[in-house]
Amino acid sequence: MPTAAKRIGSILLLACFLLMPMCLTSCKTTQKSSTASSPAAPSPRQEDLVLQKLELEYAIGPRKARSLGFRIGWQSPQPDRNLTKIIPTDDSIFTLSDENLLHRITTDNGTSLWTATVGSPGDNVHGVNYLPKQKRVYVIRDGSIMSLDSTNGILASGKSESPIQRLQWLANTAGVVHGDHIIYGSIAGELVWHTFDIGFAFKAYKIGENISLAPELINNTIIGIAASGEIVAINAETVSMQWHQKLLDTVVAKPGLDTQNASAIYVACVDQYLRAFSLTNGSVLWRALTESPLTSSPTPLGSNVYQQVPGHGLACYESLPVNRFDGLRKWITAEVTGSVITTRGNNLITWDPETRQMCLVSASTGTVEKTLVLDTVTMIITDKVREGRLYTFDERGRLDCLIPLTN
């Protein structure tokens, strides 16, 4: 269990003691002496001190969390204060430090399970894929994929599986799992289907000069984007091209995909356009010219898609407007400098890592309901784009879990 649990438990016990109502006493003549021996009622000052201490234990304290629609789940102090990745999965969270130490933590209570060295300091670790059924964790590095036993973090190998699988095409992105393949982007511009059971590449598909954005999997389709502006959709099973588009400028942000409305993908480009492409045939459904180059990912949610426009704020567009090839902007809010990371009821949660500003924003009007400046927070990750948990990591090396409140 995290070491913080005992400290938090002590604080909660103190809080319960201070907030304990005075014991009922007899209404007889002995009431005065009995009352004198009972615990004194806590003063407002004492209550404030306890609550203040609770607030300081977390990057987002209980009061602030509740105002956003969350409650504190747990806290797990990390041995490294410089994390480069936080990767949430169904039952575990993986954190990677700048010295390439990989930690596995449980999502239910924040218990640390193991720590493994997955590279020398300075090595590039592009991604981590966790396969619970196979009890494997695959770590993608520049020239190899490391296989770990998910129960203890030690090097693992099967009948035909090597713990260190050499890559024919140097990796440059994280990967997605489809069947018995990990699909990643290479530094030379190929999408590579690597068969992790035997440790060899199955196929590679050249799409551009370089791939720096991890491929996205939606249904049975792989979406790949090259730095030179190529966008492709490839059948993940047959590794055959479904459609191809070529933009005139670079794309530096991953595309927006709505898994609940899988009819379109949304791409923000440095040429200042936000585009919607048909997932079926790649045709341009609409394109909206914005005020500045787009460097953040769009977030499609139902009938809306949200895009941060640098220097101008968070904009909301209709996801599939009728007869509007130029797109339909519903609103833009200059106060919000971050991108949407998840939702909370009818509101959006946004986060700007540069200004360290979190906002609670009305999804329908763009009205800012609440703003928090989190000076000590270095990373905020969510596990789901809809009603997701929040995982915050602060400068003290503490990983906090915030869970959405239920009605």
Give me the sign of the Cα torsion angle 356, 361, 367, 371: negative
Residue 197 lies in a domain: yes
Residue 359 lies in a domain: no
Residue 294 lies in a domain: no
Residue 181 lies in a domain: yes
The pairing of beta strand 216-218 with beta strand 190-195: unpaired
User: Which of 159 and 198 is assigned the larger pLDDT?
Assistant: 198
Residue 13 has pLDDT above 90, yes or no: no
The rounded Cα 43 to chain-centroid distance in angstroms is 42
Residue 200 lies in a domain: yes
Give CA–CA dist 136/118, Å, rounded: 14
Residue 101 has pLDDT above 60, yes or no: yes
- Quickly state the pLDDT bin for 387 (edges 50, 70, 90): very high
Residue 15 lies in a domain: no
Range of the domain at 232: 124-246
Report which secondary-structure segment, H or E, holds 233. Answer: strand 230-235
How confident is the model at residue 158, as a pLDDT?
66
CB atoms within 10 A of CB 27: 7
Residues 262-287: what's their mean pLDDT?
96
Which of helix, strand or coil describes residue 207? Answer: coil
Whole-number average pLDDT of the chain: 89
Residue 137 lies in a domain: yes
Residue 16 has pLDDT above 60, yes or no: no
Closest CA to 268 of 242, 284, 250: 250
How confident is the model at residue 157, as a pLDDT?
75
Dihedral angle over CA of 35, 39, 44, 47, nearest 10: -160
Give CA–CA dist 263/256, Å, rounded: 12
Residue 32 lies in a domain: no
* DSSP notation for 266-311: EEE-TTSEEEEEETTT--EEEEEE-SS---S--EEETTEEEEEETT
Give CA–CA dist 341/358, Å, rounded: 10
Residue 261 has pLDDT above 50, yes or no: yes
Residues facing residue 235 across a β-bridge: 221, 240
Highest mean pLDDT pick, 156-165, 256-265, 269-278: 269-278
Number of domains in the chain: 1
Gap between the terminal Cα atoms of the chain: 29
**305 in Cβ contact with 298 (< 8 Å):** yes
The CATH number of whichever domain residue 218 belongs to comes to: 2.40.128.630
- Quickly state the pLDDT bin for 38 (edges 50, 70, 90): low
Residues 29-48: what's their mean pLDDT?
56
- Could you tell me what percent of the chain has a pLDDT over 90? 79
